[in-house]
């Protein structure tokens, strides 16, 4: 990014501890924002303010960490004084807090992708296995909703297609929060469940599959070329809860982008107009994600669209029988507490995926 002032260039930082360079770039941006040719141009101002906020998101927390570390170092001296052991528990708590804050800051520096800070749009499809997989797809939907709740994100299911007997055939949800896409992008792929089927009277072990597609919510200033003649719109009655108005009118909207074959739906809003607006937002995100991955020649990342949702293509396995373990096949990470994972505690897998991504770059 070039500075409007004398053509100075803001240099990309090489790591989290390159704080001096970040502070220098913040100072450059602050000076440029006072220039008439900048503040008189909303486009230039918006770009600079966005970059300044990105830099401050690292510099300010780092400054707080420095203060916390200084406090711990000064407090350590109390331990040598008479009765100092009374403060040992408090100092230990401060050290744990410092370590957690440092790990969080380090993790956020791994989220360096252009769109990592954006909101996320997740689409879940059940795969091979009928009712079993439809139930599994619903379990995954709950897992991500619980993850969002744990992290203070706002999650909304904008479309859900119920299964014939149980579970869901598909669902689309938006997760709004800082770095939601950056954290969840590695969840794209096929997820495999092994368990004793609650739907099998013979209590046999079943393997079920569901796929997850993750796209960044696109900001209004990013252009995605969608021609109206390429879109087929169908309306239908919403199948979920929503009151008499929602269920008795054809307010739900399904959009089919004919060139790509992508289909998105929304039935959460009360009006057809609002449902179409949300569906267009989801379609825009899916097309943008598709375009970016095509440019990067990483179309295999869209596992849910390009691979069969069945054996051999899974990125993670959740085994409940004959033993209990969750294994991530991309990173090799494992967890034995399956219930916690299914309740949204998937951070260990997200962190390992981010570290692996950074190592491979």
In this predicted model, what pLDDT tens digit does every residue of 263-305 receive, in sequence order? 999 988 888 989 998 998 899 888 887 877 676 554 344 433 4
Whether 321 contacts 205, CB under 8 Å: yes
What is the pLDDT, as a whole number, of residue 12?
A: 46
* pLDDT for residue 223 is more than 60: yes
What is the pLDDT, as a whole number, of residue 299?
A: 38
Query: Which of 14-23, 33-42, 103-112, 207-216 is most confident?
Result: 207-216
Using DSSP, state whether 230 is helix, strand or coil: helix
What is the pLDDT, as a whole number, of residue 168?
A: 95
Instruction: Read off the pTM.
Output: 0.70
Report CA 108 to chain centroid distance, whole Å: 13
Q: Residue 133: is the preceding peptide bond cis (ω within 30°)?
A: no
Q: Which CATH architecture has domain 19-110?
A: Up-down Bundle (1.20)
In this predicted model, what pLDDT tens digit does every residue of 163-219 receive, in sequence order? 989 999 999 999 999 889 999 999 999 999 999 999 888 888 999 999 999 999 886
Which backbone phi and psi does 91 adopt, to 5 degrees? -65, -40
Each domain of the chain, given as residue ranges in start order, spans 19-110, 120-360
Which residues on neighbouring strands pair with residue 133, listed in sequence order? none
What is the pLDDT, as a whole number, of residue 247?
A: 54
Which backbone phi and psi does 178 adopt, to 5 degrees? -60, 130
pLDDT averaged over every residue in the chain: 83
Q: Domain 120-360 carries which CATH code? A: 3.30.70.1660
């Amino acid at each position: 990014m070039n500075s409007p002032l004398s053509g100075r260039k803001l240099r990309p930082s090489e790591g989290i501890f390159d704080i001096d360079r970040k502070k220098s770039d913040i100072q450059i941006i602050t000076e440029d924002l006072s220039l008439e040719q900048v503040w008189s141009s909303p486009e230039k101002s918006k770009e600079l303010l966005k970059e300044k906020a990105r830099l401050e998101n690292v510099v300010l927390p780092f400054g707080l960490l420095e203060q916390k570390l200084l406090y711990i170092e000064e407090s350590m001296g109390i331990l040598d004084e008479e009765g100092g052991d009374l403060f040992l528990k408090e100092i230990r708590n401060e050290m744990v807090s410092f370590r957690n804050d440092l790990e969080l800051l380090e993790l956020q520096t791994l989220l360096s992708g252009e769109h990592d800070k954006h909101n996320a749009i997740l689409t879940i499809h059940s795969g091979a296995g009928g009712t079993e997989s439809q139930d599994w797809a619903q379990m995954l939907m709950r897992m991500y909703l619980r993850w969002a709740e744990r992290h203070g994100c706002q999650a909304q299911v904008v479309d859900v297609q119920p299964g014939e007997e149980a579970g869901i055939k598909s669902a689309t949800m938006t997760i709004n929060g800082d770095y939601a896409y950056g954290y969840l992008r590695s969840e794209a792929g096929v997820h495999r469940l092994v368990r004793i089927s609650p739907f099998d009277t013979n209590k046999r072990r079943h393997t079920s599959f569901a796929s997850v597609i993750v796209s960044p919510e696109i900001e209004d200033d990013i252009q995605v070329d969608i021609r109206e003649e390429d879109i087929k719109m169908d309306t239908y009655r919403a199948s979920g809860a929503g009151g008499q108005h929602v269920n008795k009118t054809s307010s739900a909207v399904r959009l089919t982008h004919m060139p790509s074959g992508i289909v998105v739906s929304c039935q959460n809003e009360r009006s057809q107009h609002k449902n179409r607006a949300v569906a267009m937002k989801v379609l825009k995100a899916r097309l943008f994600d598709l375009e970016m991955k095509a440019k990067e020649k990483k179309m295999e990342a869209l596992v849910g669209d390009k691979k069969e949702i069945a054996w051999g293509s899974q990125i993670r396995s959740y085994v409940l029988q004959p033993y209990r373990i969750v294994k991530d096949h991309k990173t090799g990470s494992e967890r034995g507490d399956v219930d916690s994972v299914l309740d949204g505690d998937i951070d260990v897998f997200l962190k390992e995926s981010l570290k692996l991504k950074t190592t491979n770059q």
